[in-house]
Structure 1
């Protein structure tokens, strides 16, 4: 099993345990690949929920630039909802999981088709 496959399995388990989501493994794989080399860096692999600049980067770089969402307050509301669902007691909010949930939330799975 490759390192990427191990990470995808870890993200799927995290989604089941912490978010109660049974992931679409094909979409999770594509979202994880889309994260690029950041998944191999411990700091870049996670999203810092308490860092507003980080949340703005998720909004601008992922939701607007990657998924093509129109800028508006609903974008930050969706990001904050994912962070709340993940739970403040959970330090590791994996970027691939956050991106997956946001992709599903906005119905943008076709971006990864």
Structure 2
């Protein structure tokens, strides 16, 4: 499921922001947000592609999730707060609750950014 549907809505409100989707195909984890913000369970997924606004992931189609959850990408310490946008079988498109910073997106993609001298 492509991210273009998420990007179409956001381009109108944020015309200067880039919404380039990047192929990732990395394992990840979904941590549902429960009662009193508890995070007791964790489920595996595959992050197919990612942009600054959202991600396309594959998950077990029988898994029932709340609308909001954290997406963790293997090798990245921080979870990303998400909201389910669309789901069809094993394919889910999620929208990030805030845009990813360029440096964080580069970290997720495994890109090295040269250090700048101040």
TM-score normalized with structure 1 length: 0.37
Q: Max radius of gyration: which structure?
A: 2
TM-score normalized with structure 2 length: 0.36
Structure with higher strand content: 2
Could you say which structure has the greater relative contact order, defined with CA pairs below 8 angstroms and 6 or more residues apart? Answer: 1
